[in-house]
Amino acid sequence: MKENKDIEKSKTLRLLMPQWQGGYNPSYYLGAQLLNWLVPASDDIQVEVPVSLNTDGVQVEKGTYARTDVLKQLHEAFSILNKHQPERVVVFGGDCGVELAPIAYLNEKYDSDVAVLWVDSHPDVKLPDHYIGQHAHVLATLLGVGDEEFVASVPKLVQPEHVLYVGLNEWSAEEAKVVDQFHLSAVAPEELVKDSSPVLNWLEKLNPTKVFIHFDLDVLDLREFRSLLVANPNTYEEMLEKAPKASSMETIIRILQDVANAYDVVGLGITEHLPWDALVLQNMLQRLPLIGDINKKDTPFISCYDHQH
């Protein structure tokens, strides 16, 4: 259980990491910047991880898109964390790959006594052999499987029994094998509607000193919240029929508040914000007289490849 007076004295780092290459979707850059702008103001230390905006000629290397850029950004994130030595970390992404350095840092700092709540519709344990987007490799990396150079960056691997999926509702056959290999626990969206007891009971059994919350916004139902990749306006009606039912925003808020009232939350990462209306508005403003380029014909750049989801 936490002590509020200790939390008030603690050192928190806000890390803005607008990485897009892990999901090969440049729109995540804007999504991260908007998250950072919308969040309540704070006196916490705030640092932005430099992220390459180059989309020309980016290659798939060793099964991972933009591997060189992602590794460079990963090392930069570790450098910032090691320099500031925060007790708590808040991360605004960007794709889910932004969670690799903060979780690894905190897991080492607290000697593996950290529970990881993976609040996400997807398990993110794909491997480069099956999928090129590093954002879907991130939890596998933290568990010790996947690209050797990424795994080597993790000083202390996350223990599988310290991971709980919250809101998981979509996975591939390859991911199911990894989930089974590590015997990872999961709570489905329908189990969370009534109350938070499935999550709180799991935490009570584990009894961790610290908790890290990975919050991929795609855990939210696209019928309620539409700033998600899956809510692409061009295919929205189709996805309304195809997409599995996910969690409501109030359900997720309640769960995270319940956890924070009972345990010491040392990390929160919010990822994969794709603000469709802001994206097309930004593009429009770039093409108007006096404020933009009237010869610009480019429409919003969405994705280099088909997305896993």
Q: Where are the domains of the chain?
A: 9-285
Identify the pLDDT of residue 301.
65
Could you confirm whether domain 9-285 is CATH 3.40.190.180?
A: no
Which region holds residue 99: left if phi is over 0, alpha if psi is between -120 and 50, else beta?
A: alpha
Identify the pLDDT of residue 309.
45
Residue pair 99/93 in contact (Cβ under 8 Å)? The answer is: yes
Number of Cβ within 10 Å of residue 193's Cβ equals: 9
Q: Is 117 helix (H, G, I), strand (E, B) or coil?
A: strand
Candidates 6, 158, 20, 162; CA nearest to 87 is 6
DSSP state of 220: B
Measured torsion, CA atoms of residues 104, 107, 111, 116, in degrees rounded to the nearest 10: -150
Burial class (CB in 10 A: 0-12, 13-18, 19+), 69: buried
Q: Which residues of the chain have pLDDT under 70?
A: 1-9, 301-309
Angle at 293 between CA 288 and CA 295, to 5 degrees: 100
